Structure formats: structure tokens, C-alpha cells
Structure 1
Amino acid sequence: MLKILRYVLSVITLVFVSYGLITKDFKFGNSMFLFFGLTMLVLGIEEIQRERKVMGGLLIAVFFFSIYVSIEGLLIS
């Protein structure tokens, strides 16, 4: 289940990044950070399940940071 979720979130993030790079229009940047953060959360959970607690903790920390950036961007704009 987490593997499928990881692939779906990664593809959604890749679509937002590709759109921004191709069109030079970064209006979906906050959404990209949101899906990037969710991808990092899923990766962190997978790493913790594999008994790699340090890497899982770092990935979850990246999740919190990217969610903060996404919410901050949504509130300011």
C-alpha cells in the first residue's frame, strides 16, 4: 500500500515540477511542496518500518519542513 502511494505522490510531484520548469510559471509551487512533503512522509514511514530509524526521522523532518513551507506560501499568497 505504501509503495503504491509513494509512486502516485512521486508522479504528482513530478508533474507539478515539470509544469513549472517547462512553462516558467510557478503558481503551483505550494502544491508541489505539499506533495513533495507527503512523498517524504511515506518514504520516512517505509524507512522506519525497515528499521532505519535515523533516515526515517530525517525524512519525516523534511516532511514537516516542506509542509510548513507549503502552508506559509498558501497563507501569504
Structure 2
Amino acid sequence: MLLKIINNIFRFIIIGISSYILMTKSFELTPYLMLFLALSLLASGLSEVISNRKRTWGYTTIIVSLFIFFVSLQSFILK
């Protein structure tokens, strides 16, 4: 239950940052967008693994979120 609430918070943040980027055509917040996307996918994957519904989908989501998190950290470092 807590992971779903956290995931929804991350989704609202993602929608807000995406809307800002689309309206202003300023891509300075893209690393933050990727960071929150990775955190949202991580929460979703953990929720799937914990609930034992689709374990392979949960593990795949966790791996993808770690990759996006790594790319986001690289963009923060290179900025």
C-alpha cells in the first residue's frame, strides 16, 4: 500500500516536470525527470515482486529502473 502511494506521488511529479518541459521548451529538468521516472519504476517493480503477481515483470522493471537511474546520475555528473 505504501509503495502505491509513493508511486502515485512520483507519477504526479513526473507529470508536473513533463508539463513544465513541454510548455517552456526548456530541457534543464530532464535529469530530474529521469530520476523520478526511475524511482517510480523501482517502486512499481518492488510492488510487483512483493505481491508475487508477476515476478519476471517486477524484476525486469527493477532492472530498467536501475539503468535509468544510472543514466540520470551520469547526466547530473556531466552537467
1:65 aligns with 2:58: no
Aligned length: 77
Give the TM-score, by structure 1 length.
0.94
Q: Percent identity?
A: 29
Give the TM-score, by structure 2 length.
0.92
Paired letter, 1:36: L
Gaps of 5+ in 1: none
Gaps of 5+ in 2: none
Partner of 1:45: 46
1:10-49 equivalences in 2 (<5 Å): 10-49=11-50
- Root mean square deviation of aligned Cα: 0.8
Paired letter, 1:50: S
How far apart, CA to CA, are the structure 1 residues paired with 2:29 and 2:37?
12
How far is the alpha carbon of 1:50 from its aligned partner? 2.4
Spell out structure 1 runs of 4+ moving beyond 3 A: none
